[in-house]
Structure 1
Amino acid sequence: MSGEASPILTRKDEHLDLALAQQATARRNPFDAFGLPHCALPELDLDDVDLTTSFLGRPLSLPFVVSSMTGGPARGAKINANLAAAAEALQIPFAVGSQRVALEGSRADGLGLELRRVAPTIPIWGNFGAAQLLQGYGIDEARRAVEMIGADALIIHLNPLQEAVQPGGDTRWRGVLEALERLANRLEVPLIVKEVGYGLSSGVARVLADAGVAAVDVAGAGGTAWALIEGDRARSDAAAETAKAFDGWGIPTPRAIRSVRTACADLPLIGSGGIRNGVDAAKAIALGADLVGQAGQVLPAAMVSPEAVVGHFEVMARQLRIACFVTGCPNLSVLRELPLGPA
């Protein structure tokens, strides 16, 4: 399998550049359709708002997670180190990008135990794609992914649309659910399943919960659009035109969060996809998310330093705290019961 590493590395490098470019493009955001109810008399002090929470049995200082980003190019090592150090300082989980290249023996690019040395106390989550479960990956590869970074959980990402529009993408998906169920029942750490930007429906979330998955990340439409990135990478007009038709495709993140929470009342749920700031985070939590994830929005800071990443999330936390304050919510449990209306 290591012979495939060079094309994979090239693709990951292109993904990184195109994801950064997409962040600079203004896109319609689905969170703008929702409004938080303003309270002019909150009867609490701003500094007393409690943003602590827990997820999969681990206490967290903030309801944020550094969502999966790069896992391939050499500059990924710097990004991963910066993210790990920042997540440790913030006491929030860090989900690494795809470990496929590292698992297939080409190079680690920062996806090794050095991450655990940089971040010894926080949850670190491993990651590889669901399509690999039909290409020889199983419990052994899952355990290796966990062991190589000292992970506390493993993410399996679902990206059928991205694979379908990607030249040479992995389009054999029959049997993925059965493979996920086997993995969930045998893996020693929790299994998390996430989409990559097109959303989980309530039906898919229910099937995953029944299969034994410990948590889901809806990763809805509104953030990085991977089909468009694959269209930008396309080497032919036909491939680019094919991808272009899927601009706007997917389940918007707010709708995905609400529907999954309704269908799976007790399933630990991460809301990601288009979270721009702490106000969006407050809306996601009010809709039913336990944690809020960011990837593309934090990538520019991740390329600079751990301090830049910390600064990014400190602003997010300040915005979330103020949103709780001016809606009269002393903590996240109260925020989760807050009714949202139209903007």
Structure 2
Amino acid sequence: MTDRSAIIRRKDEHLDIALRQQAGGANGFDSLVLEHCALPELDLAEIDLATRFLDRELALPFLISSMTGGPERGAAINANLAVAAEHLGIPLAVGSQRVALEGAAQAGIDAGLRRLAPGIPIWSNLGAAQLVQGYGVDDARRAVEMIGADALIVHLNPLQEAVQPAGDRHWAGVLAALETLAVRLERPVIVKEVGYGLSGAVARRLQDVGVAAVDVAGAGGTDWAAIEAERIADVQERQVADAFQGWGIPTPRAIAEVRAACPDLPVIGSGGIRHGVDAAKAIRLGADLVGQAGGVLAAALVSAEAVVQHFETLARQLRIACFCTGARDLPALRFVRLVTRALPLHDL
């Protein structure tokens, strides 16, 4: 089996395990409470959920975050997501384009994606580890041009690579490579974690080298250490991976830390977002957009309509959260009182 075939098989295994992985774990949001307003003096129908991100107007503050799979299911997933994103007026971030760039399979990550979604932001995706293993600005341009992307996501997954058999463990020089991309690529560069969170200090270093936005992707959603552990046959290697289940910075803390460290940096809050109430809390903490990947995966395997219905439900929940906190729009939601459930309650 070639290395490319192994990558394709691994992506299908990741998809299968992610679908089985239990959602709704400890994501940190349940410890936070938005203060209820019993007299909102608002019309629910007039709550405005529109926003702006990287100079694009969006109908809703949601992002379909990066997900992937092997060629057959990946193509169906990406087509469903593109059609849904276009209907909803929200951005779509594709999964890693490494396999497509190496010519093994495209899984629907090609020019057809833009034809399905001509009016919304689409973001390309490369792994940070590849930037210090031969991938450069020209490869990033190819990834962008492949789908007519508006921006490039570079994903940070050091823990996943460290516990994955044959993972990419050489990470020295990634920050310098990101700076080169930010300077030379004719598109905004977005940096995201894959489920273990960005600290405020890391976000500040990324902003300082010219990164246009970050996705905190905190702990509480898809657990890649657990996924890799399930894939590993060797007992000792599995024990190594098992020890890191639950690792990471919880999403609420990551959002708050990054916003405090980088007041003007566009921030995406993702990692364990279950519903519109979690989304409201993420926005209150400082997120400009709220992303979902694992939470919408099952719908993406069904149809574009199922994806649309999924996000319409989130939007209804978010709108009611705004209504019941007296917030007529997203800027107002950022000033709602937020407290912890612990007694006595403390303001955040």
Q: Normalised by the size of structure 2, how large is the TM-score?
A: 0.97
Is the CA contact (8 Å cut-off) linking 1:71 and 1:111 kept in structure 2? no
1:35 equivalent to 2:52? Answer: no
Kindly state the Cα deviation for residue 71 of structure 1 after the two structures are TM-superposed: 4.9
Kindly state the Cα deviation for residue 342 of structure 1 after the two structures are TM-superposed: 1.1
Is the CA contact (8 Å cut-off) linking 1:133 and 1:176 kept in structure 2? yes
In the alignment, what sits opposite 2:345? none
Question: Structure 2: any 5+ residue segments left out of the alignment?
Answer: 342-348
1:290 equivalent to 2:303? Answer: no
1:6 equivalent to 2:11? Answer: no
Separation in 1, partners of 2:335, 2:186: 33
Separation in 1, partners of 2:210, 2:15: 32
Which among 325, 330, 333 is matched to residue 332 of structure 1?
330
Kindly state the Cα deviation for residue 240 of structure 1 after the two structures are TM-superposed: 1.0
Separation in 2, partners of 1:339, 1:26: 25
Give the secondary structure class of the aligned counterpart of 1:248. coil
**Correspondences of 1:35-54 after superposition (within 5 Å):** 35-54=33-52
**Correspondences of 1:49-88 after superposition (within 5 Å):** 49-88=47-86
Is the CA contact (8 Å cut-off) linking 2:12 and 2:69 kept in structure 1? no
Separation in 2, partners of 1:125, 1:267: 18
Is the CA contact (8 Å cut-off) linking 1:129 and 1:156 kept in structure 2? yes
Is the CA contact (8 Å cut-off) linking 2:96 and 2:126 kept in structure 1? yes
Kindly state the Cα deviation for residue 247 of structure 1 after the two structures are TM-superposed: 1.4
Is the CA contact (8 Å cut-off) linking 2:71 and 2:106 kept in structure 1? no
In the alignment, what sits opposite 1:243? 241
Q: Normalised by the size of structure 1, how large is the TM-score?
A: 0.98
Q: Identity of paired residues, percent?
A: 69
1:162 equivalent to 2:141? Answer: no
Separation in 2, partners of 1:91, 1:339: 29
**Correspondences of 1:1-343 after superposition (within 5 Å):** 3-22=2-21, 24=22, 26-343=24-341
Kindly state the Cα deviation for residue 239 of structure 1 after the two structures are TM-superposed: 1.2
Separation in 2, partners of 1:65, 1:339: 25
Is the CA contact (8 Å cut-off) linking 1:71 and 1:101 kept in structure 2? no
Is the CA contact (8 Å cut-off) linking 2:193 and 2:215 kept in structure 1? yes
Separation in 2, partners of 1:26, 1:289: 20
Separation in 1, partners of 2:24, 2:232: 22
Whichever residue aligns with residue 279 of structure 1, its letter is V
Per-residue CA deviations over 1:233-259 (Å, capped at 9, x if unaligned) read: 001111111111111110000000000
187-196 or 67-76, which moves further after superposition? 67-76
Whichever residue aligns with residue 341 of structure 1, its letter is V
In the alignment, what sits opposite 2:344? none
Kindly state the Cα deviation for residue 26 of structure 1 after the two structures are TM-superposed: 4.9
Kindly state the Cα deviation for residue 107 of structure 1 after the two structures are TM-superposed: 1.4
Per-residue CA deviations over 1:279-325 (Å, capped at 9, x if unaligned) read: 00000000000000000000000000000000000000000000000
Per-residue CA deviations over 1:25-81 (Å, capped at 9, x if unaligned) read: 552231101001000000111011000001000000000000000054321000000
Is the CA contact (8 Å cut-off) linking 1:71 and 1:98 kept in structure 2? no
Whichever residue aligns with residue 251 of structure 2, its letter is T
Whichever residue aligns with residue 157 of structure 1, its letter is H
Separation in 2, partners of 1:163, 1:298: 24
Per-residue CA deviations over 1:89-143 (Å, capped at 9, x if unaligned) read: 0000000000000001111110001000000000000001000001110000000
Separation in 2, partners of 1:329, 1:28: 27
Is the CA contact (8 Å cut-off) linking 1:10 and 1:73 kept in structure 2? no
Give the secondary structure class of the aligned counterpart of 1:83. helix
Give the secondary structure class of the aligned counterpart of 2:72. coil
Separation in 1, partners of 2:196, 2:23: 18
Kindly state the Cα deviation for residue 3 of structure 1 after the two structures are TM-superposed: 4.5
Separation in 1, partners of 2:312, 2:265: 28
Separation in 1, partners of 2:87, 2:205: 36
Separation in 1, partners of 2:283, 2:232: 37
Is the CA contact (8 Å cut-off) linking 1:71 and 1:96 kept in structure 2? no
Corresponding residue pairs, total: 341
Give the secondary structure class of the aligned counterpart of 1:59. strand
Is the CA contact (8 Å cut-off) linking 2:71 and 2:105 kept in structure 1? no
Whichever residue aligns with residue 79 of structure 2, its letter is A
Separation in 2, partners of 1:166, 1:286: 35
